[in-house]
Amino acid sequence: MGADSTIEPPESFEALERRLIEIEPHLPKRLRQAAAYALDHPDEFALGTASALARSAEVQASTLVRFAQTLGFAGFSELQEVFRSRLRNRWPDYSERLKALQENARDSGDPTHLLFGFADSAAASIARLREAVQRRELDRAVSLLAAARTIHCLGQRRSFCVAHYLTYALSQLGIPASLIDNVGGLGPEQLAQAGAGDALIAISFSPYAPFTVDLAKRARRAGVPIVVVTDSALSPLAGIADVRFEIVESDFGSFRSLAATFCLAMTLAVAVGEKRAEAGA
């Protein structure tokens, strides 16, 4: 069944919401179920796959296609784009809130203003992460890391805590992991035995830590597969990555959190653990 050519698909989330409110009482049971899930979980609907969303809504994937066509869309991906546009269009709200907080929080004497500012900054970073990271990048990174004998984690300065956490999380999941901490200047020796059967996660943001860049380049020359977490396609790490994630954290009062970076780190650790468990099953 194709889209109803007599119906113009809604162009915005608000228009879609109004359309659903109008037609919901007349929809079959399963389509009402899909509509309710879409409105109750718009962020998930924007970012999930059709099969995953169908499981969550307890309907068939074909029901989501019929749901989209009932609204005048050619298919599910066209409907999903409306939900994705809603996420993108929320950014001005975050920017205005952060700007307003920055103007008075530091001088107000009220520490809750600081709390709200940092919380909004973290929320903005994570919302941007959800929009920027693509499924294909995650799949490639997880496959690369899951196949490694040992995963080496490298980060200095403010990225060090992320590398340390990744080493801890991977080790707790039973995955061989090594922290390249460069204590005593022994960083090169810590990575000396790594080869093509291992993997490196290198994390660095502007201004890029020279040690991280230099050691990652050594690993590249040794044939070590590399997953890079950085903030720009112009990063000195970008060109040596097998898989690259670009994360731009929001800042509040010149303080930049690592909320989105830690979210990605947790995702990689758990996803790699699950993939290795499946392979060993």
Q: Give the pLDDT confidence of 224-246 residue by residue, as tens digits.
A: 999 999 987 778 898 899 999 98
For residue 261 the two structure tokens come to 């970076």
pTM: 0.62
For residue 41 the two structure tokens come to 């979980």
pLDDT confidence tier of residue 63, bands split at 50, 70 and 90: very high
Q: Which DSSP string corresponds to 88-110? A: HTTHHHHHHHHHHHHHHHHHHS-
Say if residue 76 is exposed, middle or buried (CB neighbours under 10 Å; 0-12, 13-18, 19+): buried
What Cα–Cα distance (Å) separates residue 193 from each residue in 168, 187, 189? 20, 12, 8
| CB 199 within 8 Å of CB 145 | yes
pLDDT confidence tier of residue 281, bands split at 50, 70 and 90: very low
The pLDDT, as a whole number, for residue 1 is 47
Please give the Cα distance from 118 to 249 (Å, whole number): 11
What Cα–Cα distance (Å) separates residue 238 from each residue in 7, 9, 38, 131, 203? 46, 40, 37, 20, 11
Give SS3 for 43.
helix
For residue 42 the two structure tokens come to 């718009």
| CB 167 within 8 Å of CB 178 | yes
The pLDDT, as a whole number, for residue 172 is 93
Percentage of the residues of the chain whose pLDDT score is greater than 70: 88
The pLDDT, as a whole number, for residue 257 is 82
The pLDDT, as a whole number, for residue 102 is 56
More confident residue, 231 or 31: 31
More confident residue, 223 or 103: 223
**Lowest-pLDDT range of 49-58, 154-163, 211-220, 265-274:** 49-58
Q: Give the pLDDT confidence of 142-197 residue by residue, as tens digits.
A: 999 999 999 999 999 889 999 999 999 999 999 999 999 888 888 888 888 889 99
Q: For the stretch 27-54, what's the b/e string if a residue is b when 16 or more beta carbons lie within 10 angstroms of its beta carbon?
A: beebbbbbbebbeeebebbbbbebeebb
Q: Which amino acid type is present at position 158?
A: R
Q: Which amino acid type is present at position 27?
A: L
Name the strands in the sheet holding 226-230, side by side, starting at the edge strand that comes first in the sequence: 177-180, 151-155, 199-203, 226-230, 243-246
More confident residue, 251 or 268: 268
